[in-house]
Structure 1
Amino acid sequence: MSVWFVTGASRGIGAEIARAALAAGHDVVTAVRDPKRLPEDLKGHERVFPVALDVTDTAAIPAAVDAAVTRFGRIDVLVNNAGRGLLGALEEITDAEARSLFDLNVFGLINVTRAVLPVMRGQGSGKLVHIGSRSGFEGEPGVSLYSASKFAVAGISEALSVELAPFGIQSMVVEPGVFRTDFLDSTSLSVAAHRIPAYDGTPAHVTLDWIDEANHAQLGDPVKGAALIVEVTSAEKLPTHLYLGRDTLERLEVKIGRIRDDVEPWREKSLATAHDDAA
């Protein structure tokens, strides 16, 4: 039995991860902005400990972590799931919109991780599971700032997987494709308030127009996705990346092909930028 600390666990993939962890016999701390909004099956479960936490409220994070340790004595798995999306061409997105997104998706993740790490270092063990996105390895039109935030999550997780190894702590970024949750609802997804007509009919606005059609018709099953996340996390060794979903794997192959196409024409000239006396 392990103790899981899951942010953003009131709905979507976060709630399903909490359910899957409970089904596997673990104790779960559900860190949510409003514990009253937890689903009834989680709210009333004897192995669920709800804590009120808005991850953008940096000052409140240590108290939530301390409450979890007081209740269960340890934290074995941190799932950084809290986050949201932002749509719009980069030119349309204001500085305030971009900073608000990064405060949640990136700095919230950083600050929760920073608060949990002393607990894990003291134990000599722990696993960090960061919920990234398919958009964290492939930038796509209309989601440039969201992609930037998830690229940041992937980079942080990769660095932590090496940085924390001496302490027995592992780190993994999960990169899901589109799963059938409420992520495309207005409660989880913002659209740039300023729309520039020049982008109508271009890829950035095609993405905007796709949302209504795709919402609640996404390919991925969040129950199955969460079950796999818990299965992988429960194994002895975490992969650095968990590429989750058919569309993620398809786009990953496209990305790999693009990397090869970018590298090969310039390989020799790139190598030739070394100093002449380089060995």
Structure 2
Amino acid sequence: MTSPLFDLTGKVALITGSTKGIGRSIAEEMTRCGAKVVISSRKAEACEQVAGELKAQGFEATAIPCHVGKKDELQNLVDQTLATWGQIDVLVCNAATNPVYGATQDMTDEAWDKIMDTNVKGTFWLTQMVLPGMAERGSGAVVMLSSIAGLRGNTVIGTYGVSKAAEAALARNLAVEWGPKGIRVNAIAPGLIQTDFAKALLEDPVRVQRAKDKTPLRRIGEPVDIAGLAVFLAAPASAYITGQVIVADGGETAC
């Protein structure tokens, strides 16, 4: 029996970037706790495949493709979710991009804008679209995926880190603004996680070993390590937690 503290039965969870990696793991774990989930990423075929696999296991899922850097597609994502299930109880802003691996000095205007538009402005737009509906019902939970790159400097993904610091600040401010309406907003700051998104880092065995050695738990994180925290922040178990950035990095930033 699932503890009431982690029961998401009847809740609708909209999760961006949920066809692979951390987003997919969050979707899988939320369905196991009873939630209906919206699977969303840029590619319609990938969305349909993941939603289909979840439905084949007896879970409730729907596929709605969306590029989070495009406002009209975000509005369609919200509209289609409401048309399907009538409400959005949990919003997980997971989709992000990082097209540049190198020094901030070498960042082009185009790359800067792409990172900021997708990671920050897209999240801002989506919360603007979803939070008023949550406020009408007097409850809701928003989980943003930040990063430890937003907590300290980085020589190779610095601009990505700037965008993730901005998301953490957005979470804090929205928590203050919308808390009186019963809405909780928190962010998760993962360390290095084994996903395609971190491929450039994970393909370097020297860097991987270095990461393991400087992490107290002596391993690279798995997507489910972050999914468990996302479920917690969406569930009644975290009813008195809002405006926080919770680090999940195996202890790396504690050193």
Instruction: Using structure 2 for the length normalisation, give the TM-score.
Output: 0.83
Partner of 1:66: 79
Which string of whole-angstrom CA distances, capped at 9 and with x for unpartnered residues, describes residues 217-274 of structure 1?
970011232123213321223351221121xx331x35xxxxxxxxxxxxxxxxxxxx
Would the aligned equivalents of 2:89 and 2:140 in 1 still touch at CA under 8 Å?
yes
Tell me, in whole angstroms, the C-alpha distance in 1 between the residues paired with 2:93 and 2:50.
21
Structure 1: stretches of 5+ with no match in the other structure: 190-207, 255-279
Partner of 1:49: 62
Q: What secondary structure sits across from 1:157 in the alignment?
A: helix
User: Which AA in structure 1 matches 2:252?
Assistant: E
User: Which AA in structure 2 matches 1:35?
Assistant: A
Say which of 29, 41, 46 aligns to 1:20: 29
User: Which AA in structure 2 matches 1:78?
Assistant: L
1:106 matched to 2:156: no
User: Which AA in structure 2 matches 1:139?
Assistant: G
Tell me, in whole angstroms, the C-alpha distance in 1 between the residues paired with 2:75 and 2:50.
27
Partner of 1:276: none
User: Which AA in structure 1 matches 2:45?
Assistant: K
Shift, 1:84, TM fit: 2.0
Tell me, in whole angstroms, the C-alpha distance in 2 between the residues paired with 1:43 and 1:115.
27
Shift, 1:176, TM fit: 0.3
Shift, 1:40, TM fit: 3.8
Q: How do residues 136-147 of structure 1 correspond to structure 2 at under 5 angstroms? A: 136-147=150-161
Between 44-53 and 103-112, the greater mean CA deviation after superposition: 44-53
Would the aligned equivalents of 1:10 and 1:39 in 2 still touch at CA under 8 Å?
no
Shift, 1:161, TM fit: 1.1
User: Which AA in structure 2 matches 1:43?
Assistant: G
Task: Give the RMSD, CA atoms, in angstroms.
Answer: 2.2
Structure 2: stretches of 5+ with no match in the other structure: 1-8, 213-218
Would the aligned equivalents of 2:148 and 2:191 in 1 still touch at CA under 8 Å?
yes
Shift, 1:140, TM fit: 1.5
Would the aligned equivalents of 1:106 and 1:153 in 2 still touch at CA under 8 Å?
yes
Instruction: Using structure 1 for the length normalisation, give the TM-score.
Output: 0.76
Partner of 2:4: none
Q: What secondary structure sits across from 1:219 in the alignment?
A: coil
1:244 matched to 2:248: yes
Q: What secondary structure sits across from 2:155 in the alignment?
A: coil
